A and B are shown apart, each in its own frame.
Chain A
Amino acid sequence: MDHEAAQLEKQHVHDVYESTAPYFGDLQSKAWPRVRQFLQEQKPGSLIADIGCGAGKYLKVNSQVYALGCDYCGPLVEIARSRGCEVMVCDNLHLPFRDQGLDAIISIGVIHHFSTKQRRIRAIKEMARVLVPGGQLMIYVWAMEQKNRHFEKQDVLVPWNRALCSRLLSDPSQPGRKPCAHPERSHPYHPPCSVCSCSVCFKEQGHSQRSHSMDYEPLTAGTCCADISKEGEEENGFSNMLGKSFRSWFFSRSLDESTLRKQIERVRPLKNTEGWANSTVSIQPSRHSSLDLGRHQEPLSTREQSLDEDVFVEASQKQLEWPRAPAARKHLRGDQQGEVRRNGDGNFLEGANTSENSMNEDDVEEGHPSASKTLRRISALDSTDSNSEETIPVEEQQPGILDSRAFMRYYHVFREGELYGLLKEHVAELHVLSSGNDHGNWCVIAEKKDNCD
């Protein structure tokens, strides 16, 4: 099983990043504020590793620490190296460091690429092994619960279409590079407007002055492109263009547990995407609210460097606490998993902007009811029953929805509390300090206990 899991990851993680790395080289993408903060809080002279550094976005955040980047993907590591970062190619499961050698580690958008629970645990334990006692580990993984998007299952394949990206890159009307980052923004909120089926609708609601508002603010479901405010002209043009081009790309395929297991065990190289038609992969129709063209987050990962991690850092000092994600909780319809500890009291706060928090809430409040309606509506239309999805052969889908050139990336999206639970139950050497939700990611900061390992 482990070998097969590795094969799945090779095909739908490693090979994809390797092939798509050249397209990410040019794109500048900024760091998630909360991750930046974690790095900046480390003591000067610390030895920090970014396990899954991608093209090295976080490696230069803090010049007072010695940062090492590690990634499985050679081409991405080369990009980081060309930026002057100290990097190496290695495997998260076999870190080439001695025990207790590192002062801090970040793992941003990496663990969700491991296809079995056991491998995810191993990855975390391996990072714990190389931490000094008292050293901290920050982990970000893509959340299953998204405000305006719905993952049917936890194991999904997400397409990435390089042709689209190239088209965007060459479009002269584009406002610089930022637009190209949009399609790759894996998770946060790019809900397709359920009314007009536009892939991306931005309703800025006055959030544009916030650092990453454009990218990550939850959109009120049901708004149309027409509602885009004038504040962000760039985004206007971009989203209009996106609306035309991207519609067909916003879907993700779900693998239910049995399917995933079959797929893992099959270990069959798929020459082209038609191969999927023969497998029992559940395919979500394009109108489904999955807007995943890239990796989560940001940062991301072993991979992490990709178009999706474009964060606008105009106001990077704001929002230093975990934003509560009440919408996500509501989505779970009362499934409040109490074990996720919130840091809502703002331990990380330094002059937190409370008005932003209230804006956040307003968003949520406003967005929630329609979001629910949207989900329900989509469900009715698109028949999310997994059986029917599995029977949709690839060929019968509308043209344009499936591009044989699209790369499919595997993700295990995490449920609320899952990451926390994983550490608590399986990684005794780590003590969880805080956990929360940040822009559609579940995040945890943990500390290596003394006298362990």
Chain B
Amino acid sequence: MKPLPHNLPSPHVRGVGPRGFPLRLQATEVRINPVEFNPDFVARMIPKVEWAALLEAADTLHLVEVPKGPIEGYEHDEKFLRQMHHVLLEVDVLEGTLQCPESGRLFPISRGIPNMLLSDEETET
């Protein structure tokens, strides 16, 4: 699971405030996958980044060299784009959890796949 911040799911648990986004990421196993650098693609993702969530995830994953926010002229700043490319696309959480900050509910990530299914009780209408 890649930690694209807007990708970070919001738990849809009833009774949990308005959409409890974002979830807290904890990882016990992370892999770095080289992905071909496409500056245009990365540049287009930047406006969608939720920076607070990204920085929190980066911190959790002990990533270094993560920009703190979009910089002026980022579209043409290769260094910036490469750093963003790395954190958005090359980091893969294989094992870990996503936790709802309000309810504490944990969603497992295993073999790179988060399981966001809610139990019957949680979905009772």
Name A's B-contacting residues (CB within 8 A).
Answer: 2-3, 6, 43-45, 47, 64, 66, 68, 72, 74, 77-78, 81, 86-91, 93-99, 101
Contact = CB atoms under 8 A, between A and B. Distances in A.
B114 A88 contact: yes
Given A47-B48, A97-B10, 7 more contacts: A45-B40, A66-B4, A72-B117, A88-B116, A94-B117, A94-B123, A96-B116
A93 B113 contact: no
A45 B45 contact: yes
12 contacts: A3-B120, A44-B40, A44-B44, A45-B43, A45-B44, A47-B48, A66-B45, A81-B113, A89-B116, A90-B116, A91-B116, A94-B118
A118 B118 CA distance: 19
Given A88-B1, A88-B114, A91-B118, A96 B10 contact: yes
A15 to B, nearest CB: 14
B76 interface: no
Interface string B14-51: 00000101100000000000000000110111001000
Counting chain A CB atoms within 10 Å of each CB, which of B9, B43, B123 scores highest? B9
Interface residues of B toward A: which range? 20 to 34
Contacts of A78: 111, 113
Contacts of A68: 7
Contacts of B19: 98-99
A194 B82 CA distance: 62
B85 to A, nearest CB: 12
B116 A45 contact: no
Given A78-B113, A88-B115, A45 B1 contact: no
B11 interface: yes
A95 B12 contact: yes
A21 B4 CA distance: 28
Contacts of B12: 94-96
Counting chain A CB atoms within 10 Å of each CB, which of B1, B6, B7 scores highest? B7
The 3 A-B pairs of least Cβ separation, nearest first, read A45-B44, A96-B9, A96-B116
Contacts of B10: 96-98
Contacts of B22: 98
A88 B125 contact: no
Nearest to B114: A88
B111 A86 contact: no
B112 interface: yes
Interface string B91-125: 00000000000000001000111111110100101
A383 to B, nearest CB: 42
A253 to B, nearest CB: 27
B123 to A, nearest CB: 6
A98 B9 CA distance: 7
Contacts of B116: 88-91, 94, 96
A93 B123 contact: yes
A88 B110 CA distance: 10
Contacts of A96: 9-12, 107, 114, 116
B4 A89 contact: no
Nearest to A87: B113
A440 to B, nearest CB: 31
Nearest to B108: A89
B44 to A, nearest CB: 2
Contacts of B123: 91, 93-94
A77 to B, nearest CB: 6
Contacts of A2: 125
A78 B45 CA distance: 26
A89 B114 contact: yes
B2 A86 contact: yes
Contacts of A93: 123
Contact of B113 (A43, A72, A77, A99): A77
A77 B110 CA distance: 12
Contacts of B2: 86
Given A66-B4, A86-B2, A96-B12, A91 B48 contact: no
Nearest to B35: A84
A64 B38 CA distance: 9
A81 B111 contact: yes
A98 B21 CA distance: 6
A241 to B, nearest CB: 37
Nearest to A88: B114
Nearest to B47: A45
Contacts of B21: 98
Given A45-B44, A93-B123, A96-B116, A88 B9 contact: yes
Contact of A88 (B45, B48, B113): B113
Nearest to A95: B12
Contacts of B40: 44-45
A101 B12 CA distance: 14
A55 to B, nearest CB: 13
Counting chain B CB atoms within 10 Å of each CB, which of A3, A77, A91, A96 scores highest? A96
A3 B125 CA distance: 10
B67 to A, nearest CB: 17
A1 B47 CA distance: 43
Interface string B74-99: 00000000000000000000000000
A89 B6 contact: no
A436 B74 CA distance: 42
